[in-house]
């Protein structure tokens, strides 16, 4: 629902969302004041009743925001861990195929270098644009074909080959987990509940009978905090897309330190 924000700087996303929340709250307080005074009377009006309703609703809504924010942060952290696990699996594979005889060693190592190149130059940029990255599956298939075509000639080669096949299976599993994490996101129905709940809380805020200046200050602060929470959830919703997205640093580090490519 907030996918438009991933093409903008993070600071601008924050300003847009929080400013929108504050402007909506202040406009509501300003224009609803005559109606509130007519229905509820001057201060204190029905402030105790409004406070009770806002407190009860705010507790449930705050709990919802807290749980969703924690879940999105956890998803982003898990996604970063999956990238690190995949990079580690590729690095381990590279070290294991380095024990193969030539020419298989050079072929298999080049396959892994090409896969890492694709991750850094194609996959991560495509994920940040919200696109499906291309080429990765073909490169994995090519490596698998070259790996399975090798026929060990000694017992030692057979042991290394079996360990490499097992490591390839772990790598493929980590890769699948990372792909699944990249397609995640909060369902639209949950976003609808979050936004409707925010609007209801702002409407309740407008129903207080207070001095206009104090009402605007308190309402603006409440709306700013509400907007900040929604911004946090939105920016972490798709962990591979924004400027705060998953970092490809594990692949960069493995590329340099294990493969020796700069």
Token match 């749980």: residue?
67
CA 199/CA 193 separation, integer angstroms? 10
The whole-number average pLDDT for the span 9-20 is 90
Q: What is the pLDDT of residue 34?
A: 82
pLDDT band at 31 (very low <50, low <70, confident <90, very high): confident
Provide the CA 25 distance to its chain's centre, in angstroms: 28
Spatial distance between the Cα atoms of 130 and 260, rounded to a whole number of angstroms? 31
Which run of H or of E encompasses 56?
A: helix 47-97
Average pLDDT in the 174-186 region? Answer: 84
The pLDDT of 171-191, averaged and rounded, is 86
Tokens of 20: 């929108």
Mean pLDDT across the stretch 146-159?
A: 89
User: 172: number of CA atoms within 13 Å, CB side?
Assistant: 14
Give me the pLDDT at residue 134, please. 78
pLDDT, one tens digit per residue, over 105-127 is: 999 999 999 999 999 999 988 88
Q: State the chain's mean pLDDT as an integer.
A: 87
Check: CB of residue 137 under 8 Å from CB of residue 129.
no
Question: Could you tell me if 86 and 175 are in contact, meaning their C-beta atoms sit under 8 angstroms apart?
Answer: yes
pLDDT over 70 (residue 8) = yes
Q: Tokens standing for 228?
A: 């900040």
Residue 37: pLDDT over 80: no
Q: To which H or E segment does residue 142 belong? A: helix 136-149
The Cα–Cα gap between 5 and 1 comes to 9
pLDDT band at 150 (very low <50, low <70, confident <90, very high): confident
- Contact predicate 214/222, CB 8 Å: no
Segment 205-233 shows an average pLDDT of: 88
- The percent of residues in the chain predicted with pLDDT above 90, rounded, is 35
Give residue 45's pLDDT band: very low, low, confident or very high (50, 70, 90): low
Token duo for residue 117: 């190149």
Distance CA 147, CA 108 (A): 7
Residue 262 pLDDT > 70, yes or no? no
How confident is the model at residue 208, as a pLDDT?
81
Q: Which DSSP letter does residue 207 get?
A: T
Whether residue 202 has pLDDT greater than 70: yes
- pLDDT recorded at residue 20: 93
């Amino acid at each position: 629902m907030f996918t438009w924000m991933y093409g903008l700087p993070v600071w601008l996303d924050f300003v847009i969302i929080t400013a929108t929340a504050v402007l909506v709250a202040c406009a509501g307080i300003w224009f609803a004041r005559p109606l509130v005074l007519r229905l509820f009377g001057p201060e204190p009006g029905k402030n105790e009743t409004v406070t009770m309703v806002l407190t009860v609703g705010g507790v449930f809504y705050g709990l919802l925001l807290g749980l969703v924010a924690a879940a999105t942060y956890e998803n982003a952290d898990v996604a970063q861990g999956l990238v690190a696990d995949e990079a580690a699996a590729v690095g381990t594979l590279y070290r294991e195929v380095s024990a193969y005889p030539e020419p298989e060693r050079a072929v298999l190592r080049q396959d892994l270098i090409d896969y890492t190149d694709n991750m850094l130059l194609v996959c991560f940029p495509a994920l940040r644009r919200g696109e499906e990255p291309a080429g990765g599956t073909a490169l994995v298939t090519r490596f698998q074909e070259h790996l399975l075509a090798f026929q060990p000639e000694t017992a030692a080669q057979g042991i290394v080959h079996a360990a490499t096949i097992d490591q390839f299976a772990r790598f493929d599993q980590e890769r699948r987990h990372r792909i699944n994490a990249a397609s995640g996101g909060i369902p639209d129905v949950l976003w609808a509940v979050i936004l409707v709940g925010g609007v209801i809380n702002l409407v309740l805020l407008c129903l207080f009978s207070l001095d206009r200046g104090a009402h605007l200050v308190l309402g603006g602060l409440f709306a700013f905090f509400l907007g900040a929470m929604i911004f946090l959830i939105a920016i972490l919703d798709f962990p591979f897309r924004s400027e705060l997205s998953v970092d490809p640093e594990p692949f960069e580090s493995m590329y340099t330190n294990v493969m020796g490519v700069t």
